[in-house]
């Protein structure tokens, strides 16, 4: 059994991580930390875990809190994992950061977008970007994994077959994506109150979202050259889920895109390409580690529209972190992640 420690397990990604790990057949959660909840039981904060998790929150600075662990997973806000990383790695532990501290390779760019000084820039170059469908072999060998963001996961998986094969004009990539309110985290925010968010759709961060440079970095890497990328996120009145509508101009409109996508993702356990003309929706991926994709060609144009859906807390965060954990530990990639979406 691999022993896992969790830093910051009181938010939505932390609770999702616990939901997945307490049922994982080859993992034991050995420690979980929270400054605010230290000394309180996990089940008192998350009643859904009563009878499944008997851990008590510890102070993350406590002596030997992760002494029995093999891997630590950080489910903290941005800027926290980087303060723990040097010490944890020096002790021989492996670290998966579910936040954004190690995702962007250009440290100055990261500091610009996240508004803080990076605490350990020397580790950024070592970190492996944890998109298994792109970096599976490197993830397996890594001691530090930067788990992708939720929007970047849906968008990159939707675009990858196009940009990898040079089939999208690099200046034409655009995404309009909607997210449920859980994407804003568990802290109280007036725009996320029921009476504020219900019965309304709202775009935000139109002039620049923090996930934009992460997506552009990944797509540029896949394309082998810089790409221009426009991204407009929206919040909609649902709890979980991301639906990304992606647009590009094709360099070769004669290519059979349905066959291309099916071939690219044929052996990927967590990417499901729907039959031609399909329309994925968020409820069919809720609580799962799946990304469902559909390809559409608007008639009489050289454009393509890709639809990509994920659960922002699972494939977009904690589920993907467990997928990365499986790769790092040599487990079957799907262990602990074979849930079927709840319906209705």
Which of these, 170, 174, 172, lies nearest to 227 by C-alpha position? 170
The answer to whether residue 190 scores a pLDDT higher than 90 is: no
Report the first-to-last Cα separation within the chain, whole angstroms. 35
Number of structural domains (the chain) is 2
Is position 328 within any domain?
Answer: no
**How does 80-118 read in b/e, with b if 16+ C-beta sit within 10 Å?**
bbbebbeebbeeebbbbbbbbbbbbbebeebeebbeeeb
Is position 337 within any domain?
Answer: no
The angle at the Cα of 74, spanning 71 to 79, to the nearest 5 degrees, equals 135
Looking at the structure, tell me whether residues 224 and 166 fall in a common domain.
yes
Is position 323 within any domain?
Answer: no
> Catalytic residue numbers?
150
Looking at the structure, tell me whether residues 161 and 197 fall in a common domain.
yes
Whole domain around residue 53: which residue ranges?
A: 2-126
Looking at the structure, tell me whether residues 190 and 80 fall in a common domain.
no
Is position 48 within any domain?
Answer: yes
The answer to whether residue 193 scores a pLDDT higher than 90 is: no
The CATH number of the domain where 32 resides is what? 3.40.50.720
* Residue the block writes with tokens 């230290």: 38
The CATH number of the domain where 230 resides is what? 3.30.360.10
The answer to whether residue 184 scores a pLDDT higher than 90 is: no
The answer to whether residue 254 scores a pLDDT higher than 90 is: yes
Looking at the structure, tell me whether residues 69 and 108 fall in a common domain.
yes
Contact 140, 149 (CB under 8 A): no
**How does 45-69 read in b/e, with b if 16+ C-beta sit within 10 Å?**
bbeebeeebebebbebeeeebbeeb
Q: What is the pLDDT of residues 291-317, one digit of tens each?
A: 999 999 999 999 999 999 999 999 999
Looking at the structure, tell me whether residues 61 and 171 fall in a common domain.
no
The confidence band for 134, taking pLDDT boundaries of 50, 70 and 90, is very high
Looking at the structure, tell me whether residues 38 and 163 fall in a common domain.
no
Report the percentage of the chain scoring pLDDT > 70: 100
* Average pLDDT along the chain: 96
Q: What is the pLDDT of residues 138-164, one digit of tens each?
A: 999 999 999 999 999 999 999 999 999
């Amino acid at each position: 059994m691999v022993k896992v420690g969790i830093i910051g397990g009181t938010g939505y990604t932390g609770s999702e991580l616990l939901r997945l790990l307490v049922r994982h057949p080859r993992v034991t959660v050995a420690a979980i930390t929270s400054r605010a909840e230290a000394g309180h039981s996990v089940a008192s904060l998350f009643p859904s875990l009563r009878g499944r998790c008997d851990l008590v929150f510890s102070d993350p600075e406590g002596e030997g809190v992760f002494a029995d662990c093999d891997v630590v997973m950080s489910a903290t806000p941005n800027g926290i994992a980087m303060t723990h990383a040097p010490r944890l790695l020096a002790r021989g532990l492996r670290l998966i950061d579910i936040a954004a501290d190690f995702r962007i390779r250009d440290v100055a760019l990261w500091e610009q977008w996240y508004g803080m000084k990076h605490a350990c820039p020397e580790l950024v170059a070592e970190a492996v970007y944890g998109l298994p469908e792109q970096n599976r072999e490197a993830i397996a060998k890594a001691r530090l994994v930067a788990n992708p963001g939720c929007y970047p996961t849906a968008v990159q998986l939707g675009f990858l077959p196009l940009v990898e094969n040079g089939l999208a004009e690099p200046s034409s990539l655009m995404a309009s994506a909607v997210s449920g309110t859980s994407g804003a985290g568990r802290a109280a925010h007036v725009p996320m109150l029921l009476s504020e968010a219900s019965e309304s759709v709202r775009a935000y961060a139109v002039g620049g979202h923090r996930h934009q440079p992460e997506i552009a970095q990944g797509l540029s890497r896949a394309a082998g050259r810089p790409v221009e990328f426009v991204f407009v996120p929206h919040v909609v009145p649902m709890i979980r889920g991301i639906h990304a509508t992606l647009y590009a101009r094709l360099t070769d409109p004669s290519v059979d895109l349905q066959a291309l996508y099916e071939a690219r993702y044929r052996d990927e356990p967590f990417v499901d390409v729907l039959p031609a003309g399909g329309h994925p929706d968020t409820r069919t991926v809720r609580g799962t580690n799946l990304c469902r994709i559909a390809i559409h060609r608007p008639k009489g144009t050289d454009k393509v529209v890709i639809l990509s859906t994920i659960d922002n807390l699972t494939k977009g965060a904690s589920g993907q972190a467990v997928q990365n954990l499986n790769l790092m530990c040599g487990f079957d990639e799907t262990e602990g992640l074979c849930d079927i979406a709840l319906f209705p």
